[in-house]
Amino acid sequence: MAATENEVLLHALDHAYDATSWHGPNLRGAIRGLSHVDAAKRPGKGRHSVWELAVHCAYWKYTVRRRITGEKRGSFPLEGSNWFARDPKHGAAQWKADVALLDEVHRSLRAEIERFPERRWSEKVKGSRWTYRDIVAGVAAHDLYHAGQMRLVKVLAKR
């Protein structure tokens, strides 16, 4: 039996985030086991840390979910948008809370994709040139892009 579009998009999203993937580490794998100190290390002045990249990914998962549901802006649990400064002084508890936020936003996005009407994937998102399909596929690609970036940041931050 052929997979539904919802199933295909969820498959891509999950493999980019936390399911075993043929391409190697996914986003969740790139942060697994990191301490808050290591997650906050920067590869250079003015560059983002793994921690900041993780919260950035949570924000964009939230944004895609919000666009799917039509929810208004301003409901992300952290103040600000896109990039959120993180520092080791914020502590291990904040790092764990931010990873939990990333997991929760991913689960919430998944739930909306599961419920999304199949017939609407090719519709354009209100106020956008992109379709609902585009933004879901895009957030999966975004996870993989930043997973690779995180792996590079971890190597560069050790130098």
Fold (CATH) for 5-157 = Four Helix Bundle (Hemerythrin (Met), subunit A) (1.20.120)
Report the DSSP beta bridge partners of residue 124. 131
Q: Are 25 and 147 in contact (CB under 8 A)?
A: yes
Per residue in 101-158, pLDDT tens?
999 999 999 999 999 999 999 999 999 999 999 999 999 999 999 999 999 998 888 7
What's the 3-state SS for 73-141? CCCCCCCCCCCCCCCHHHHHHHHHHHHHHHHHHHHHHHHHHHHCCHHHCCCECCCCCCEHHHHHHHHHH
Per residue in 26-85, pLDDT tens?
999 999 999 999 999 998 889 999 999 999 999 999 999 999 999 988 889 999 999 999
Q: How many CB atoms lie within 10 A of CB 129?
A: 7
> Which has more confidence, 14 or 24?
14
State the pLDDT confidence band at 24, using cuts at 50, 70 and 90: confident
3-state secondary structure of 42: coil
Overall pTM surpassing 0.85 (yes/no)? yes
Cα dihedral 104, 78, 92, 45 sign: positive
The whole-angstrom separation of Cα 79 and Cα 63 is 14
